[in-house]
Amino acid sequence: MNFKKQFKDGLLTQNPVLVQLLGMCSTMAITTTLFNGIGMGVAVTFILICSNVVISLLRKVIPSKIRIAAYIVVIAGFVTMVDLLMQAFLPALSESLGIFIPLIVVNCIILGRAEAFASKNSVAASAVDGICQGIGYTVVLIVMCVVREFLGSGTFGGGLLGPEGAGIRILPEQFPAMMMILPVGGFLTLGVLIAVVQYFLAKDKKGADET
């Protein structure tokens, strides 16, 4: 188990959103306020860790022919747990994220890590993989939330800071571009982030080849 490599993979070289292009639907749909991004990121990270650990524990028991169905059952159990806890203790966040919490069951990030990593590696390595991939996913969500909220609403910390969770106003109300909190804003922000990451990855690879 190489923690440094796993952390770098999750954050950058194998980032689930910016490199593997997984979980696009929720990434673009809920990244309008910082509260949403942190909430979804923490939820997905928790489910990633728990499902990876359980699937790694059962990897030699689950028959190959039904492994995908078994993985979904395991993931669904943890998603249900998170959904119920969120409804009980964070009802505002649960209402804001809406259908995207139950849809974590079929989130390709979690299913992909179960198939590609947890089913082939030890419990400890699988737990670390869940943590690192979850951090990478959460960082992308937070960056997108900050950019879209700032440009689209002119605020920072929506759902967490400011009067009644409206966020701290940075730009006057007449300046923000409302399109940034609409679906097109999600596509634009994500496209720019992917381009930036791919540029640095290509630059890093070119430097490694030259040496």
| Residue 72: C-alpha distances to residues 55, 69, 107, 111, 124 (Å) | 10, 5, 10, 7, 21
d(CA 144, CA 18): 12
Q: What is the structure's pLDDT at 79?
A: 97
Q: What is the structure's pLDDT at 82?
A: 96
For residue 96, give the amino acid letter. S
Token duo for residue 152 = 């689209």
Q: How many CB atoms lie within 10 A of CB 183?
A: 10
d(CA 138, CA 127): 16
Cross-strand bridge partners of residue 156: 168
Q: What is the structure's pLDDT at 87?
A: 95
Q: What is the structure's pLDDT at 209?
A: 66
Percent of the chain at pLDDT > 90 equals 73
Q: What is the structure's pLDDT at 30?
A: 92
Q: What is the structure's pLDDT at 188?
A: 94
Q: What is the structure's pLDDT at 178?
A: 86
Asked if 79 and 109 touch (Cβ cutoff 8 Å), the reply is no
Q: What is the structure's pLDDT at 71?
A: 95
Low-confidence residues in the chain, pLDDT < 50: none
Tens of pLDDT, residue by residue over 109-157, are: 999 999 999 999 999 999 999 999 999 999 999 999 999 999 999 999 9
What is the pTM for the complete model shown? 0.92
Q: How many CB atoms lie within 10 A of CB 123?
A: 15
Q: What is the structure's pLDDT at 210?
A: 65
- Indicate the domain borders of the chain: 3-210
Cross-strand bridge partners of residue 168: 156
The mean pLDDT value of the chain amounts to 92
d(CA 105, CA 26): 12
Q: What is the structure's pLDDT at 205?
A: 79
